Amino acid sequence: HGPTLLAWSTFLTLLPSDAEFMPGSFSIDTMTKKANECGIASFSRLLDAEQLRGEDLTVTLHKSVLKNMFSTILAAYDMLPIHRLPQFELNQLLEILQKMLANQPLLCEQFWGGARGDGQEAPLFALLEGCRERFPVDSVPLLRALAALSEGHRAAECALAYIAQLPTVALPVPPTDILEQCIKPGPGSEMDAVAGTVRGAVTTSQRLTSPYIPGGYIEAGMSGLAIDLGPHTTPLIIWAAQADGLHLCITRLSMLSTTGLNGALSDDEWAELEAGALFLSKVLTHAPSFARPMLSCDVSQSVPKGAPADILTSLSLALHVSSKSLTSEQSIRRTAIILQALTP
């Protein structure tokens, strides 16, 4: 019933607001909510079915059909770009992606083979690109999506190549003083330095640093796009600065582990640590030929003195920090993910 309810709510949305035949007690928001519950939530539950577990050909064929259906849903129901989605809706989409591609290297290879075309994989690639545009200020979506798309050797290699050559970095809108002094709005853009808001094309007149790009910076003169799509989203600026996302991932893992050793991590920081460990676990397991260069990656120039300077030390410290608080199912799962990354 989900598509029918959603189509009906869309039809009513397009009606004039003063239409006399509108049902008095009808709520478009309620109808849309029910449609989402019947559609995306039911889709996620369907993927938990016993018949869709395992790695045999029948499961792959079934999931291939579901993957195409999921792509159609993304394209047809205007869920993209993801910047305007509430966090719980984006989490639902990523959960479906993870369940759908679990133990399915053929489907992951199929995705990477056609990702940059305009065919069936295009909506899934748009979902991935939307996650990439939030990185590293909100790195969890990209890391979760790439972990899901890393099943199998070739897919893991493609995921590593993707994250190692990011064309942009997303950072929070800077504080009001920096916004006023360093950020210049472009033609047609809107900026209120006192309120700390900006929207549209911008450039920076001075070099900008951020804890989200440890050891790095946004060069003076760099152009960016400021996005603020409502109360459910985080205002950010997407800077046209190339970055090695894998290096950033390892650097952030080092810093989060060090922070966790010295004090409590926030829920968002725990989520980032878990997502980073999950992605690293996947690629170390499925792309062992890349393990040696990854293990030799030195981030000592990007982290504070005394913080782990390599992936193994960072994961070991993360395991120590996580294992100190095994008080919930979530913390146990997170610790298991980190342990798996250390023993792929």
CA angle 46, 51, 54 (to 5 degrees): 110
Task: Indicate left, alpha or beta for 78 from its phi (over 0: left) and psi (-120 to 50: alpha).
Answer: left
Confidence of residue 148 (pLDDT cuts 50, 70, 90): very high
pLDDT at 253: 96
Residue 2 has pLDDT above 60, yes or no: no
Q: Where are the alpha helices (DSSP H) in the chain?
A: 2-13, 28-36, 42-46, 57-76, 87-101, 105-114, 122-132, 140-148, 153-164, 176-182, 245-262, 267-286, 291-295, 311-323, 329-342
> How far, in Å, CA of 152 to CA of 150, rounded?
6
Residue 1 has pLDDT above 50, yes or no: no
Of 29 and 107, the structure prediction assigns the larger pLDDT to 107
Per the CB < 8 A criterion, the answer to whether 238 and 297 are in contact is no
Average pLDDT, the chain: 86
What sign does the dihedral 105-107-110-114 (CA atoms) show? negative
pLDDT tens by residue, 290-338: 877 888 889 999 999 999 999 999 999 999 999 987 888 888 999 999 9
Residue 193 has pLDDT above 80, yes or no: yes
Q: Coil, strand, or helix at residue 191?
A: strand
If you ran DSSP here, which 8-state letter would residue 199 be given?
E
Q: How much is the average pLDDT of 70-84?
A: 76
Q: How much is the average pLDDT of 152-158?
A: 94
pTM attached to this predicted model: 0.86
Of 92 and 7, the structure prediction assigns the larger pLDDT to 92
Give how far Cα 163 sits from Cα of 46, 55, 207, Å.
30, 27, 24
Q: How much is the average pLDDT of 206-234?
A: 87
Q: Coil, strand, or helix at residue 317?
A: helix
CA-wise closest residue to 74 among 58, 90, 59: 90
pLDDT tens by residue, 247-278: 999 999 999 999 999 888 999 999 999 999 99
